[in-house]
Structure 1
Amino acid sequence: MAKSLRSKWKRKMRAEKRKKNAPKELARLKTVLGLDGKGEIAMKDVQEIATVVPAEKVKEKVEDVDMEGDDADASKMDMDSKRNKKTLLDEHGQYPTWMSQRQAKKIKGKRNAKKGKAKKKKGLAW
């Protein structure tokens, strides 16, 4: 999607900024890791610390963890069980934190509209 001239320019400038800041970032990484005080720093040390792990190895680790946990229901979080699925209210009458005030007001309005329609007034229909 990002094919406009502006986005191409932004990508180009970000790449140049990465090139410019790379030595500073490496120096900062070395100081954080405590390798700067030794005097001689081998790039192999930094490569060992900052390695990229292939996705296959990560998936294998995740599968191993899943195999160990036989009780899937026990590991399931029970936070949503206290929340009403229809109104999204919890036991204290609060909406979720991710919901905006506009969405909450809309749901509340629908809920109150249903309450109002349920009661029909007896009287003359003129």
Structure 2
Amino acid sequence: MAKSLRSKWRRKMRAEKRKKVAPKELARLKSTLGQGENGEITMKDMAEIATVVPVHKLKQKSEDVEMKTEEDGPSKMEMDSKRSKKTMLDEHGQYPKWMNQRQAKKLKSKRKAVKGKHKLKKGVAW
């Protein structure tokens, strides 16, 4: 934000509002987590809310994934369409969605200039 008086005032008021709302927000968060007044969460309570998985199973699963990638070798990300890096055209002659019309026009003009350019023959022209 800028440093105008209005923005400074709004920042100040937002900070005060955060201080005012913080206790209510904390109480609401604790009640949703099921802590209540005692501040303790049991694993049975957590099992009702989310799936509980032991840590050793997660580590074992990640090691299996690493082993598979090493066996297969370096893998490349597969793309839906093949695109020329030089012209940015796909197999249907379309530019990518993110490219704006001005960029597409510029690339098209470059492509046409290279295509229409005639090479001069070596030697002396009489």
For the pair shown, the structure with the greater C-alpha radius of gyration is 2
The structure carrying a bigger helix percent of its residues is: 1
Normalised-by-shorter TM-score class: 0.3 to 0.5
